[in-house]
Amino acid sequence: MKIGILKETKDGEQRVACTPQSALILIEAEHDIYVQSEAGLGSGFTDGEYEKVGAVICQNAEQVYKESILIYKVKEIEKRDYSYLKEHHIILSFLHTNSNESEMRALIASKCLAIAYEDITDETGEFPILKPMSELAGKVAFIEGLSQLQTIHGGVGVLLNSILGLPTPRVVVIGPGHAGRAAAELAASFGNHVILLGRGLANLEKAQQLLPKTTELLYATKDTVRNACLEADLIINCVLWPKNREGHLIEESDLKELKPGCLIVDVSCDEGGAIETSYATTISNPTYEVAGIRHYCVDNLPALYGRTATLVLSNATLPYVLELANKGGKKALSDNPHLRQGVSTYKGKVTLMETARKHSMEYYSIVDMLN
Backbone angles phi, psi at 252, to 5 degrees: -60, -35
Q: Has 81 been annotated as catalytic?
A: no
Q: Has 338 been annotated as catalytic?
A: no
Task: Please pick, among 233, 266, 270, 299, the residue that the annotation labels catalytic.
Answer: 270
Task: Please pick, among 96, 193, 248, 295, the residue that the annotation labels catalytic.
Answer: 96
- The set of residues, in sequence order, having a beta carbon less than 8 Å from that of 35 and lying 6+ positions away, is 4, 5, 18, 23, 47, 50, 55, 56, 57, 58, 64
Q: Which of 5, 23, 11, 84 is nearest to 297 (CA)?
A: 11
Q: With 0-12 CB in 10 A as exposed, 13-18 as middle and 19+ as buried, what is 87?
A: exposed
CA distance 19 to 15: 10
**How many other C-beta atoms can be found within 10 angstroms of the C-beta atom of residue 235?**
26
* Secondary structure in 3-state letters for 79-112: HHHHHHCCCCCEEEECCCHHHCHHHHHHHHHHCC
Q: Which of 174, 173, 175 is nearest to 184 (CA)?
A: 173
CA distance 213 to 195: 11
Q: Where are the alpha helices (DSSP H) in 193-276?
A: 201-210, 222-229
CA distance 138 to 201: 19
> Is 13 within 8 Å of 303 (Cβ atoms)?
yes
Q: Which of 70, 69, 72 is nearest to 39 (CA)?
A: 72
Residues taking part in catalysis: 96, 270
